[in-house]
Structure 1
Amino acid sequence: MTASPLGDYQPGTSVFHRLPVGAKLLGLLVLSIVAVTFRGVPTTVGLLGLAVAGCVVAGVRLRRAARALRGVLVAMTLLAAYQTWQRGGEHAFVVVGALVALLLLATVFTTTTSVERMVDAITRWLGPFRRLGVNPELVALAFSLMIRGIPLTLAIAGETRDAARARGLERNPRAYLTPLVIRVVAHARATGDALHARGLGDD
Protein backbone atom coordinates (compact mmCIF):
# COMPACT_ATOMS: atom_id res chain seq x y z
CA MET A 1 0.00 0.00 0.00
CA THR A 2 1.30 3.45 -0.84
CA ALA A 3 1.87 5.47 2.30
CA SER A 4 1.45 9.17 2.71
CA PRO A 5 2.88 11.55 5.27
CA LEU A 6 -0.38 13.46 5.41
CA GLY A 7 -2.08 12.55 8.64
CA ASP A 8 0.95 10.41 9.65
CA TYR A 9 2.33 11.74 12.94
CA GLN A 10 6.05 11.42 13.58
CA PRO A 11 7.02 11.89 17.27
CA GLY A 12 9.86 14.31 17.95
CA THR A 13 11.13 17.23 20.01
CA SER A 14 11.58 19.91 17.34
CA VAL A 15 10.28 23.44 17.74
CA PHE A 16 7.36 22.52 15.47
CA HIS A 17 6.43 19.61 17.72
CA ARG A 18 6.34 21.97 20.71
CA LEU A 19 4.31 24.72 19.03
CA PRO A 20 0.59 24.86 19.89
CA VAL A 21 -1.78 23.51 17.26
CA GLY A 22 -3.39 26.92 16.83
CA ALA A 23 -0.07 28.63 16.15
CA LYS A 24 0.80 26.13 13.43
CA LEU A 25 -2.61 26.40 11.79
CA LEU A 26 -2.40 30.20 11.90
CA GLY A 27 1.02 30.07 10.29
CA LEU A 28 -0.30 27.85 7.50
CA LEU A 29 -3.22 30.22 6.95
CA VAL A 30 -0.95 33.28 6.79
CA LEU A 31 1.44 31.62 4.34
CA SER A 32 -1.49 30.50 2.18
CA ILE A 33 -2.78 34.08 2.06
CA VAL A 34 0.70 35.33 1.17
CA ALA A 35 0.94 32.78 -1.66
CA VAL A 36 -2.35 33.97 -3.14
CA THR A 37 -2.00 37.72 -2.49
CA PHE A 38 1.65 38.28 -3.42
CA ARG A 39 2.05 35.97 -6.40
CA GLY A 40 5.44 36.12 -8.02
CA VAL A 41 8.74 34.34 -8.42
CA PRO A 42 10.30 35.86 -5.25
CA THR A 43 7.29 34.79 -3.16
CA THR A 44 7.32 31.27 -4.54
CA VAL A 45 11.08 30.92 -4.02
CA GLY A 46 10.67 32.19 -0.46
CA LEU A 47 7.84 29.75 0.25
CA LEU A 48 9.83 26.84 -1.16
CA GLY A 49 12.79 27.86 1.00
CA LEU A 50 10.58 28.01 4.09
CA ALA A 51 9.06 24.64 3.25
CA VAL A 52 12.44 22.94 2.86
CA ALA A 53 13.74 24.58 6.04
CA GLY A 54 10.58 23.53 7.89
CA CYS A 55 11.02 19.93 6.77
CA VAL A 56 14.64 19.95 7.96
CA VAL A 57 13.86 21.52 11.34
CA ALA A 58 10.85 19.25 11.91
CA GLY A 59 12.89 16.19 11.03
CA VAL A 60 10.65 15.18 8.12
CA ARG A 61 12.41 12.33 6.37
CA LEU A 62 13.27 12.88 2.71
CA ARG A 63 11.38 9.73 1.73
CA ARG A 64 8.27 10.98 3.51
CA ALA A 65 8.41 14.37 1.80
CA ALA A 66 8.92 12.64 -1.54
CA ARG A 67 5.84 10.49 -0.94
CA ALA A 68 3.80 13.63 -0.28
CA LEU A 69 4.79 15.02 -3.67
CA ARG A 70 4.47 11.67 -5.43
CA GLY A 71 0.79 11.53 -4.52
CA VAL A 72 0.07 14.67 -6.55
CA LEU A 73 2.82 14.33 -9.15
CA VAL A 74 0.47 13.66 -12.06
CA ALA A 75 -1.84 16.55 -11.15
CA MET A 76 1.09 18.95 -10.68
CA THR A 77 2.64 17.89 -13.98
CA LEU A 78 -0.62 18.44 -15.86
CA LEU A 79 -1.13 21.79 -14.13
CA ALA A 80 2.41 22.89 -14.98
CA ALA A 81 1.95 21.90 -18.61
CA TYR A 82 -1.35 23.75 -18.85
CA GLN A 83 -0.03 26.90 -17.16
CA THR A 84 3.06 26.87 -19.37
CA TRP A 85 0.88 26.59 -22.46
CA GLN A 86 -1.51 29.32 -21.35
CA ARG A 87 0.70 31.79 -19.46
CA GLY A 88 4.32 30.74 -19.89
CA GLY A 89 6.94 28.92 -17.86
CA GLU A 90 7.39 31.65 -15.23
CA HIS A 91 3.70 31.66 -14.33
CA ALA A 92 3.70 27.86 -14.21
CA PHE A 93 6.60 27.95 -11.74
CA VAL A 94 4.80 30.51 -9.57
CA VAL A 95 1.56 28.50 -9.40
CA VAL A 96 2.95 24.98 -9.12
CA GLY A 97 5.87 26.00 -6.92
CA ALA A 98 3.55 27.68 -4.42
CA LEU A 99 1.29 24.62 -4.31
CA VAL A 100 4.28 22.33 -3.73
CA ALA A 101 5.53 24.61 -0.95
CA LEU A 102 2.14 24.66 0.78
CA LEU A 103 1.87 20.89 0.47
CA LEU A 104 5.26 20.46 2.13
CA LEU A 105 4.30 22.92 4.86
CA ALA A 106 1.07 21.01 5.44
CA THR A 107 3.19 17.86 5.68
CA VAL A 108 5.29 19.54 8.37
CA PHE A 109 2.07 20.32 10.26
CA THR A 110 0.62 16.82 10.11
CA THR A 111 4.01 15.21 10.78
CA THR A 112 4.52 17.22 13.97
CA THR A 113 0.92 17.25 15.23
CA SER A 114 -0.86 14.13 16.41
CA VAL A 115 -4.49 13.62 15.50
CA GLU A 116 -5.30 13.53 19.21
CA ARG A 117 -3.86 17.04 19.69
CA MET A 118 -5.83 18.31 16.69
CA VAL A 119 -9.05 16.81 18.04
CA ASP A 120 -8.45 18.21 21.53
CA ALA A 121 -7.75 21.67 20.11
CA ILE A 122 -10.89 21.68 17.95
CA THR A 123 -13.02 20.49 20.86
CA ARG A 124 -11.61 23.26 23.05
CA TRP A 125 -12.08 25.96 20.40
CA LEU A 126 -15.69 25.00 19.74
CA GLY A 127 -16.59 24.64 23.41
CA PRO A 128 -18.16 28.14 23.69
CA PHE A 129 -20.48 27.32 20.76
CA ARG A 130 -22.01 24.35 22.55
CA ARG A 131 -24.83 26.59 23.82
CA LEU A 132 -25.69 27.35 20.19
CA GLY A 133 -26.24 23.68 19.47
CA VAL A 134 -22.77 22.86 18.15
CA ASN A 135 -21.41 19.46 19.17
CA PRO A 136 -17.63 20.01 19.50
CA GLU A 137 -16.90 16.30 19.91
CA LEU A 138 -18.79 15.42 16.72
CA VAL A 139 -17.05 18.15 14.73
CA ALA A 140 -13.69 17.00 16.07
CA LEU A 141 -14.53 13.42 15.11
CA ALA A 142 -15.40 14.52 11.57
CA PHE A 143 -12.09 16.38 11.33
CA SER A 144 -10.22 13.35 12.63
CA LEU A 145 -11.87 11.10 10.05
CA MET A 146 -11.00 13.59 7.30
CA ILE A 147 -7.34 13.71 8.33
CA ARG A 148 -7.10 9.93 8.58
CA GLY A 149 -8.88 9.58 5.24
CA ILE A 150 -6.31 11.61 3.29
CA PRO A 151 -3.51 9.02 3.37
CA LEU A 152 -6.00 6.21 2.72
CA THR A 153 -7.44 7.98 -0.33
CA LEU A 154 -3.96 8.64 -1.71
CA ALA A 155 -3.02 5.02 -1.06
CA ILE A 156 -6.11 3.80 -2.93
CA ALA A 157 -5.25 6.17 -5.78
CA GLY A 158 -1.73 4.75 -5.95
CA GLU A 159 -2.96 1.15 -5.95
CA THR A 160 -5.57 1.90 -8.61
CA ARG A 161 -3.01 3.65 -10.80
CA ASP A 162 -0.58 0.73 -10.45
CA ALA A 163 -3.34 -1.76 -11.31
CA ALA A 164 -4.27 0.21 -14.44
CA ARG A 165 -0.62 0.40 -15.45
CA ALA A 166 -0.21 -3.37 -14.98
CA ARG A 167 -3.08 -3.92 -17.41
CA GLY A 168 -1.57 -1.49 -19.91
CA LEU A 169 -4.43 0.98 -19.37
CA GLU A 170 -2.53 3.85 -17.75
CA ARG A 171 -3.66 6.17 -20.57
CA ASN A 172 -7.33 5.28 -20.07
CA PRO A 173 -8.87 7.66 -17.50
CA ARG A 174 -11.89 5.41 -17.01
CA ALA A 175 -9.70 2.45 -16.04
CA TYR A 176 -8.22 4.60 -13.26
CA LEU A 177 -11.06 6.83 -12.10
CA THR A 178 -13.92 4.31 -12.01
CA PRO A 179 -12.36 1.84 -9.55
CA LEU A 180 -10.92 4.75 -7.55
CA VAL A 181 -14.35 6.33 -7.03
CA ILE A 182 -15.94 2.96 -6.24
CA ARG A 183 -13.34 2.10 -3.59
CA VAL A 184 -13.39 5.55 -1.96
CA VAL A 185 -17.20 5.59 -1.79
CA ALA A 186 -17.21 2.03 -0.42
CA HIS A 187 -14.81 3.04 2.34
CA ALA A 188 -16.90 6.12 3.16
CA ARG A 189 -20.05 4.00 3.42
CA ALA A 190 -18.29 1.42 5.59
CA THR A 191 -17.10 4.19 7.90
CA GLY A 192 -20.60 5.64 8.08
CA ASP A 193 -22.08 2.23 8.89
CA ALA A 194 -19.50 1.71 11.64
CA LEU A 195 -20.31 5.09 13.19
CA HIS A 196 -24.03 4.43 12.94
CA ALA A 197 -23.58 1.07 14.68
CA ARG A 198 -21.97 2.93 17.56
CA GLY A 199 -24.87 5.37 17.79
CA LEU A 200 -22.97 8.31 16.29
CA GLY A 201 -24.52 10.70 13.79
CA ASP A 202 -28.10 9.88 14.72
CA ASP A 203 -28.99 13.41 15.87
Structure 2
Amino acid sequence: MARSVIPYSYRPGNSLLHRLPAGLKFLGLLGISLATFFFGPWALAGAAALILAGSLIAGIKPWELFCGSRMLLISAGLVVLIRSVQFTPLGFDTEGCVAGLVFAGVLMVSFCAASLLFSVTTMAELRDSAAKAEGLLLIAAAALLKPLKPSWSRAVSERRKKPVIALVLTLMLGFLPRFFEIWNTSEEAYRARGGRKGIKQILVLVPLVSERMLETAGETAAAFEARGSLL
Protein backbone atom coordinates (compact mmCIF):
# COMPACT_ATOMS: atom_id res chain seq x y z
CA MET A 1 0.00 0.00 0.00
CA ALA A 2 1.31 3.44 -0.90
CA ARG A 3 2.33 5.66 1.95
CA SER A 4 -0.24 8.32 2.71
CA VAL A 5 1.33 11.76 2.74
CA ILE A 6 -0.17 14.14 5.28
CA PRO A 7 0.10 17.74 4.01
CA TYR A 8 2.39 20.07 5.97
CA SER A 9 3.74 17.21 8.08
CA TYR A 10 7.38 16.99 9.17
CA ARG A 11 9.50 14.38 7.39
CA PRO A 12 12.64 13.37 9.29
CA GLY A 13 15.90 13.64 7.40
CA ASN A 14 19.51 14.77 7.52
CA SER A 15 19.68 16.82 4.35
CA LEU A 16 21.25 20.26 4.07
CA LEU A 17 17.77 21.80 4.14
CA HIS A 18 16.87 19.90 7.32
CA ARG A 19 20.02 21.18 9.03
CA LEU A 20 19.59 24.85 8.14
CA PRO A 21 18.48 27.11 11.04
CA ALA A 22 14.70 27.34 11.29
CA GLY A 23 14.80 31.13 11.33
CA LEU A 24 16.71 31.24 8.05
CA LYS A 25 14.19 28.89 6.44
CA PHE A 26 11.27 30.98 7.72
CA LEU A 27 12.85 34.15 6.32
CA GLY A 28 13.27 32.31 3.03
CA LEU A 29 9.56 31.50 3.03
CA LEU A 30 8.69 35.16 3.64
CA GLY A 31 11.10 36.25 0.92
CA ILE A 32 9.64 33.83 -1.63
CA SER A 33 6.08 34.83 -0.79
CA LEU A 34 6.80 38.56 -1.04
CA ALA A 35 8.81 38.16 -4.25
CA THR A 36 6.08 36.19 -5.99
CA PHE A 37 3.38 38.69 -4.99
CA PHE A 38 5.24 41.88 -5.89
CA PHE A 39 7.90 41.18 -8.53
CA GLY A 40 6.04 39.49 -11.36
CA PRO A 41 6.38 36.32 -13.45
CA TRP A 42 10.19 36.18 -13.43
CA ALA A 43 10.28 36.17 -9.64
CA LEU A 44 7.53 33.54 -9.71
CA ALA A 45 9.58 31.33 -12.03
CA GLY A 46 12.69 31.79 -9.87
CA ALA A 47 10.76 30.94 -6.69
CA ALA A 48 9.34 27.80 -8.32
CA ALA A 49 12.86 26.74 -9.33
CA LEU A 50 14.14 27.31 -5.78
CA ILE A 51 11.31 25.22 -4.31
CA LEU A 52 11.96 22.44 -6.82
CA ALA A 53 15.66 22.43 -5.95
CA GLY A 54 14.86 22.50 -2.23
CA SER A 55 12.51 19.53 -2.47
CA LEU A 56 15.14 17.51 -4.35
CA ILE A 57 17.82 18.42 -1.80
CA ALA A 58 15.49 17.37 1.04
CA GLY A 59 14.66 14.08 -0.68
CA ILE A 60 11.00 14.98 -1.11
CA LYS A 61 9.12 14.27 -4.32
CA PRO A 62 8.13 17.69 -5.71
CA TRP A 63 4.53 16.67 -6.43
CA GLU A 64 4.07 15.70 -2.77
CA LEU A 65 4.29 19.40 -1.88
CA PHE A 66 0.90 19.85 -3.58
CA CYS A 67 -0.84 17.45 -1.15
CA GLY A 68 -3.80 19.20 0.45
CA SER A 69 -4.02 21.89 -2.23
CA ARG A 70 -7.12 20.55 -4.00
CA MET A 71 -9.47 23.31 -2.84
CA LEU A 72 -6.82 25.93 -3.55
CA LEU A 73 -6.39 24.53 -7.06
CA ILE A 74 -10.14 24.67 -7.64
CA SER A 75 -10.27 28.27 -6.40
CA ALA A 76 -7.30 29.22 -8.57
CA GLY A 77 -8.98 27.59 -11.59
CA LEU A 78 -12.15 29.59 -10.97
CA VAL A 79 -10.11 32.80 -10.78
CA VAL A 80 -8.45 32.02 -14.12
CA LEU A 81 -11.83 31.20 -15.67
CA ILE A 82 -13.45 34.41 -14.46
CA ARG A 83 -10.49 36.58 -15.49
CA SER A 84 -10.53 34.98 -18.96
CA VAL A 85 -14.07 36.16 -19.75
CA GLN A 86 -14.59 39.51 -21.42
CA PHE A 87 -18.14 40.74 -20.85
CA THR A 88 -18.30 43.85 -23.07
CA PRO A 89 -18.38 42.53 -25.71
CA LEU A 90 -18.54 38.88 -24.72
CA GLY A 91 -15.33 37.08 -25.61
CA PHE A 92 -11.97 35.78 -24.43
CA ASP A 93 -9.73 38.17 -22.47
CA THR A 94 -6.12 37.17 -23.14
CA GLU A 95 -4.59 39.65 -20.71
CA GLY A 96 -7.06 38.65 -18.01
CA CYS A 97 -6.26 34.98 -18.56
CA VAL A 98 -2.52 35.63 -18.23
CA ALA A 99 -3.07 37.68 -15.07
CA GLY A 100 -5.25 34.91 -13.65
CA LEU A 101 -2.62 32.28 -14.43
CA VAL A 102 0.07 34.37 -12.74
CA PHE A 103 -2.15 34.81 -9.66
CA ALA A 104 -2.84 31.06 -9.56
CA GLY A 105 0.89 30.43 -9.84
CA VAL A 106 1.56 32.77 -6.92
CA LEU A 107 -0.95 30.92 -4.75
CA MET A 108 0.48 27.49 -5.59
CA VAL A 109 4.13 28.54 -5.21
CA SER A 110 3.38 30.07 -1.79
CA PHE A 111 1.52 26.92 -0.76
CA CYS A 112 4.39 24.67 -1.87
CA ALA A 113 6.98 26.90 -0.15
CA ALA A 114 5.11 26.61 3.15
CA SER A 115 4.69 22.87 2.61
CA LEU A 116 8.45 22.52 2.10
CA LEU A 117 9.17 24.55 5.25
CA PHE A 118 6.99 22.30 7.43
CA SER A 119 8.41 19.19 5.78
CA VAL A 120 11.97 19.98 6.90
CA THR A 121 11.40 21.94 10.12
CA THR A 122 9.92 20.80 13.43
CA MET A 123 7.65 23.02 15.50
CA ALA A 124 10.22 22.94 18.31
CA GLU A 125 12.84 24.39 15.94
CA LEU A 126 10.45 27.12 14.82
CA ARG A 127 9.56 27.94 18.43
CA ASP A 128 13.20 28.18 19.54
CA SER A 129 14.10 30.32 16.54
CA ALA A 130 11.17 32.68 17.13
CA ALA A 131 12.05 32.95 20.84
CA LYS A 132 15.65 33.89 20.00
CA ALA A 133 14.52 36.49 17.47
CA GLU A 134 12.07 37.99 19.97
CA GLY A 135 14.78 38.08 22.64
CA LEU A 136 17.14 40.02 20.35
CA LEU A 137 14.39 42.50 19.47
CA LEU A 138 13.58 43.04 23.15
CA ILE A 139 17.27 43.60 23.98
CA ALA A 140 17.47 46.23 21.26
CA ALA A 141 14.23 47.87 22.42
CA ALA A 142 15.41 47.94 26.05
CA ALA A 143 18.70 49.56 25.01
CA LEU A 144 16.87 52.26 23.04
CA LEU A 145 14.42 52.97 25.86
CA LYS A 146 16.95 53.04 28.70
CA PRO A 147 18.08 56.67 28.19
CA LEU A 148 14.48 57.83 27.70
CA LYS A 149 12.51 55.83 30.27
CA PRO A 150 14.43 53.41 32.52
CA SER A 151 11.22 51.90 33.92
CA TRP A 152 10.01 50.99 30.43
CA SER A 153 13.42 49.55 29.62
CA ARG A 154 13.24 47.28 32.68
CA ALA A 155 9.70 46.20 31.76
CA VAL A 156 10.78 45.30 28.23
CA SER A 157 13.76 43.35 29.60
CA GLU A 158 11.43 41.37 31.85
CA ARG A 159 9.39 40.30 28.82
CA ARG A 160 12.40 38.25 27.68
CA LYS A 161 11.53 35.68 30.34
CA LYS A 162 8.20 35.03 28.61
CA PRO A 163 8.48 35.22 24.79
CA VAL A 164 4.84 35.97 24.02
CA ILE A 165 5.22 36.70 20.30
CA ALA A 166 7.19 33.49 19.74
CA LEU A 167 4.53 31.50 21.58
CA VAL A 168 1.65 33.02 19.60
CA LEU A 169 3.45 32.60 16.28
CA THR A 170 4.29 28.97 17.01
CA LEU A 171 0.73 28.17 18.05
CA MET A 172 -0.62 29.75 14.86
CA LEU A 173 1.82 27.84 12.65
CA GLY A 174 1.24 24.63 14.58
CA PHE A 175 -2.45 24.61 13.72
CA LEU A 176 -1.69 24.32 9.99
CA PRO A 177 -0.21 20.79 10.06
CA ARG A 178 -2.71 19.87 12.77
CA PHE A 179 -5.61 20.90 10.51
CA PHE A 180 -4.34 18.73 7.66
CA GLU A 181 -3.76 15.82 10.02
CA ILE A 182 -7.34 16.01 11.32
CA TRP A 183 -8.73 16.44 7.81
CA ASN A 184 -6.75 13.44 6.53
CA THR A 185 -7.92 11.24 9.43
CA SER A 186 -11.55 12.33 9.00
CA GLU A 187 -11.42 11.75 5.25
CA GLU A 188 -10.06 8.22 5.73
CA ALA A 189 -12.83 7.47 8.24
CA TYR A 190 -15.41 8.87 5.82
CA ARG A 191 -14.12 6.69 2.98
CA ALA A 192 -13.99 3.61 5.22
CA ARG A 193 -17.72 4.03 5.83
CA GLY A 194 -18.48 4.08 2.12
CA GLY A 195 -18.57 7.83 1.65
CA ARG A 196 -18.06 9.19 -1.85
CA LYS A 197 -16.00 12.08 -3.11
CA GLY A 198 -17.64 15.32 -4.11
CA ILE A 199 -19.68 18.10 -2.58
CA LYS A 200 -21.28 15.71 -0.08
CA GLN A 201 -17.87 14.80 1.32
CA ILE A 202 -17.00 18.47 1.86
CA LEU A 203 -20.38 19.18 3.49
CA VAL A 204 -19.87 16.25 5.86
CA LEU A 205 -16.21 16.85 6.71
CA VAL A 206 -16.10 20.64 7.14
CA PRO A 207 -18.29 20.77 10.29
CA LEU A 208 -16.61 17.67 11.75
CA VAL A 209 -13.11 19.03 11.19
CA SER A 210 -14.13 22.48 12.46
CA GLU A 211 -15.49 20.93 15.66
CA ARG A 212 -12.32 18.89 16.15
CA MET A 213 -10.13 21.97 15.59
CA LEU A 214 -12.10 23.86 18.26
CA GLU A 215 -11.62 20.91 20.61
CA THR A 216 -7.91 20.93 19.84
CA ALA A 217 -7.71 24.66 20.62
CA GLY A 218 -9.48 24.03 23.91
CA GLU A 219 -7.12 21.18 24.79
CA THR A 220 -4.13 23.39 23.98
CA ALA A 221 -5.45 26.19 26.16
CA ALA A 222 -6.08 23.74 29.02
CA ALA A 223 -2.55 22.39 28.71
CA PHE A 224 -1.08 25.91 28.93
CA GLU A 225 -3.32 26.73 31.88
CA ALA A 226 -2.16 23.58 33.69
CA ARG A 227 1.42 24.74 33.19
CA GLY A 228 0.63 28.29 34.26
CA SER A 229 1.61 29.55 30.82
CA LEU A 230 -1.54 31.32 29.65
CA LEU A 231 -0.91 34.76 28.19
**Over 4 Å off, 4+ runs:** none
What's the TM-score, normalizing by structure 2? Answer: 0.70
What amino acid is the match of 1:35? T
Superposition map of 1:103-114 within 5 A: 103-114=111-122
What's the TM-score, normalizing by structure 1? Answer: 0.78
Residue 13 of structure 2 contacts residue 58 of structure 2 at CA under 8 Å; is this kept in 1?
A: no
How far is 1:145 from its partner? 3.4
2:203 is equivalent to residue 195 of structure 1 = no
Tell me, which stretches of 5 or more residues in structure 2 are unaligned? 85-95, 140-154
2:77 is equivalent to residue 77 of structure 1 = no
Greater RCO, 1 or 2 (C-alpha within 8 Å, sep 6+): 1
2:176 is equivalent to residue 150 of structure 1 = yes
How far is 1:188 from its partner? 1.1
Deviations 1:21-76 (A, max 9, x none): 33322222222221111223x333332222111111222x21xx544412121222
Of structures 1 and 2, the larger Rg is shown by 2
**Partner Cα distance (1:168, 1:28) in 2:** 36
Question: Matched residue pairs, number?
Answer: 197
Alpha-carbon RMSD: 3.0
Residue 7 of structure 2 contacts residue 177 of structure 2 at CA under 8 Å; is this kept in 1?
A: yes
**Partner Cα distance (2:36, 2:131) in 1:** 29
Identity level (%): 21
Query: What does residue 178 of structure 1 align with?
Result: 207
**Partner Cα distance (2:63, 2:73) in 1:** 14
**Partner Cα distance (2:124, 2:65) in 1:** 22
What amino acid is the match of 1:155? E
Tell me, which stretches of 5 or more residues in structure 1 are unaligned? none
Residue 9 of structure 1 contacts residue 111 of structure 1 at CA under 8 Å; is this kept in 2?
A: yes
**Partner Cα distance (2:124, 2:98) in 1:** 41
